[in-house]
Chains A and B, each alone.
Chain A
């Protein structure tokens, strides 16, 4: 069973998630602060950490930066009520494998955990919208050379993201675009990589606003 840790500063919310996930995954612990979270992840090395973006003492970015070195195999999934693109993008760029909003249904959350554990990226409609927004402008002239590929999305990736934003599941997207579900996954993973590595102005600006990089 997947070993899962919950990091959130709201006790009520942790209790709710615990009740939802009980019996479906192996819950190895909970943390309410960045400090607790770092030591929990370092000791338990869970497979997947459900990570709150916003916490009083630094939030998800601080947890990932503090724990990733000691637990290289642990994967992070941002689970947040935060609406702000810069919060979400900052957490993804710190290393989270996806982002889902807190009002997600139980079966979708379980599906997302399984997908992250399987090495895929998890894009909620809202995250897909943020990404399309961030990559919407023209590529800055003279930028990058070898990294130019990172600064823009291919037409296919854009199409996949649009479908995610419209509320389609991966298998539905595969059906509509006439490609396999694995190919859809590959496109989404490629987008995640670009999101983490691109130096696009919009992304660095969002990251800078959250004092990342």
Chain B
């Protein structure tokens, strides 16, 4: 069971190492290798000593078993050979088997020496030792997270889950062994009959209590959930109430005050509608995106000129400086359309495709002949066309007398 180590050993460092079970260069529990490292001697020497002690009345086996259980495992070894850790699931059974066999041999030695009470104790004690050893070892070994953390970076989540699952299976194996030991002991000493009655009584009481209290517990859990939902709902209601108070109610008050001015009332209603829509759609505040920026401009133009501006945006995009220039040009076009569109609705359509960014601004006004641009429009036109050209884009103005005017702004993705 315990054999000499023929492999090369690690060089002992001058300062004494703490007493730890080795996780490398080990055969069974790493006790001999760890002890050898701690004492600064070759593990082979330690192993020979243990084998000698084992043959002398089995005392070596007992010491080995105790040392295995009590000496914590070396943590550094876990990082040196991480592959070993992945096989620890199988090691659980090895440990239980090892400790059980060691205990059995100790018992048999004692029996041979005449130190004996009854054969009925053999199996309970062996099972108890195997299960107890497993549990002790488990509780004394570093937790998976601690063991992994000093290594490179945070532990992989799956690895940790896997490790936890293994810990759980090892622990439950230990528990089953210990309980089995108890049951075997009780049945061997004929104490089980009494124990069975007590267990049965306890079980009956538990079931009765469960039946009585289960509905109450379920109701408690449900009412707690309902309470939480109600709280969330009332919070949402309060938030919405606050928003409506700041926006819609204020606007309604303004509408009442200016009831004699239909144009102003219409403009107020439009502005409020736009603001409420933006709020419902969850895109208020922050004009650093194309759709939000165009909506904001449309509201501004509507307020200033009393003309409805409809905005449709397909796709959306963060605005870089070039995009901002495009939006500024679109604003000029909107103002222009509102001024010269004879009060017709201004349609704004923007499309943020894979390549280019396009904005169309259209009015249904009288239109004009682009070849005979009036003087007062030239400046605006320059500011649109010139601005787009400066940022690597282009602007085209489509218009004909009686057919309205459309400004087409295009910005290629890269200049």
Answer yes or no: do A and B interact.
yes
Q: Which residues of A contact B (CB under 8 A)?
A: 83-84, 103, 125-126, 128-129, 132-133, 136, 162, 165-168, 172
Q: B360 in the interface, Cβ–Cβ < 8 Å?
A: yes
Contact indicator B281/A129 (Cβ below 8 Å): no
Contact indicator A167/B280 (Cβ below 8 Å): no
Q: B308 in the interface, Cβ–Cβ < 8 Å?
A: yes
B263 to chain A, nearest CB (A): 16
A92 to chain B, nearest CB (A): 16
Size class of the contact patch on chain B: 20 to 34
Q: B210 in the interface, Cβ–Cβ < 8 Å?
A: no
Alpha-carbon gap, A45 to B403, bound state (A): 40
Closest 8 CB pairs of A and B: A167-B347, A129-B312, A166-B349, A132-B314, A166-B360, A165-B349, A83-B277, A165-B312
List residues of chain B with CB within 8 A of the CB of A128. Answer: 312
A–B pairs, 28, beta carbons within 8 Å: A83-B277, A83-B280, A125-B310, A125-B312, A125-B347, A125-B349, A129-B313, A129-B314, A129-B349, A132-B351, A133-B314, A133-B315, A136-B314, A136-B315, A136-B353, A162-B349, A165-B312, A165-B349, A166-B347, A166-B360, A166-B406, A167-B310, A167-B345, A167-B349, A167-B362, A167-B364, A168-B362, A172-B403
The residue among B312, B364, B403 with the most chain A CB atoms within 10 A of its own CB is: B312
Query: Which A residue sits closest to B308, measured CB to CB?
Result: A103
A126-B310, A166-B360 given; 18 more Cβ-contact pairs under 8 Å: A84-B280, A103-B308, A125-B312, A125-B347, A126-B312, A128-B312, A129-B312, A129-B313, A129-B314, A129-B349, A133-B315, A136-B353, A165-B312, A165-B314, A166-B349, A166-B362, A167-B349, A168-B362
Those of B250-284 within 8 Å (CB) of chain A: 273, 277, 280-281
List residues of chain B with CB within 8 A of the CB of A172. Answer: 403
A16 to chain B, nearest CB (A): 13
Alpha-carbon gap, A126 to B360, bound state (A): 14
List residues of chain A with CB within 8 A of the CB of B403. Answer: 172
Query: Which A residue sits closest to B358, measured CB to CB?
Result: A162
Taking chain A's interface residues, is the majority helix, strand, or loop, or is none over half, making it mixed? helix
Query: Which B residue sits closest to A102, measured CB to CB?
Result: B273
B252 to chain A, nearest CB (A): 14
Query: Which B residue sits closest to A105, measured CB to CB?
Result: B345
Alpha-carbon gap, A165 to B350, bound state (A): 9
Q: Quick one: given A125-B347, A162-B349, A166-B362, are A83 and B314 in contact (CB under 8 Å)?
A: no
Alpha-carbon gap, A128 to B310, bound state (A): 13
Alpha-carbon gap, A172 to B312, bound state (A): 19
Alpha-carbon gap, A172 to B351, bound state (A): 21
The residue among B345, B349, B351, B406 with the most chain A CB atoms within 10 A of its own CB is: B349
Query: Which A residue sits closest to B362, measured CB to CB?
Result: A167
List residues of chain A with CB within 8 A of the CB of B280. Answer: 83-84
Query: Which A residue sits closest to B406, measured CB to CB?
Result: A166
The residue among B281, B310, B345 with the most chain A CB atoms within 10 A of its own CB is: B310
A117 to chain B, nearest CB (A): 25
Query: Which B residue sits closest to A169, measured CB to CB?
Result: B364
Contact indicator B281/A84 (Cβ below 8 Å): yes
Contact with A along B324-353 (1 / 0, CB 8 A): 000000000000000000000101010101
Query: Which B residue sits closest to A172, measured CB to CB?
Result: B403
Query: Which B residue sits closest to A83, measured CB to CB?
Result: B277
List residues of chain A with CB within 8 A of the CB of B281. Answer: 83-84
List residues of chain A with CB within 8 A of the CB of B345. Answer: 167
List residues of chain B with CB within 8 A of the CB of A132. Answer: 314, 351
Query: Which A residue sits closest to B314, measured CB to CB?
Result: A132
Query: Which B residue sits closest to A176, measured CB to CB?
Result: B398
Contact with A along B362-406 (1 / 0, CB 8 A): 101000000000000000000000000000000000000001001
Contact indicator A162/B308 (Cβ below 8 Å): no
A109 to chain B, nearest CB (A): 14
List residues of chain A with CB within 8 A of the CB of B314. Answer: 129, 132-133, 136, 165
Taking a contact as CB atoms closer than 8 A, the residue among B273, B310, B351 that contacts A162 in the complex is B351
Query: Which A residue sits closest to B398, measured CB to CB?
Result: A176
List residues of chain A with CB within 8 A of the CB of B312. Answer: 125-126, 128-129, 165
B133 to chain A, nearest CB (A): 55
List residues of chain B with CB within 8 A of the CB of A126. Answer: 310, 312
List residues of chain B with CB within 8 A of the CB of A129. Answer: 312-314, 349
List residues of chain A with CB within 8 A of the CB of B310. Answer: 125-126, 167
List residues of chain A with CB within 8 A of the CB of B313. Answer: 129
List residues of chain A with CB within 8 A of the CB of B277. Answer: 83
Alpha-carbon gap, A107 to B281, bound state (A): 29
Alpha-carbon gap, A168 to B277, bound state (A): 24
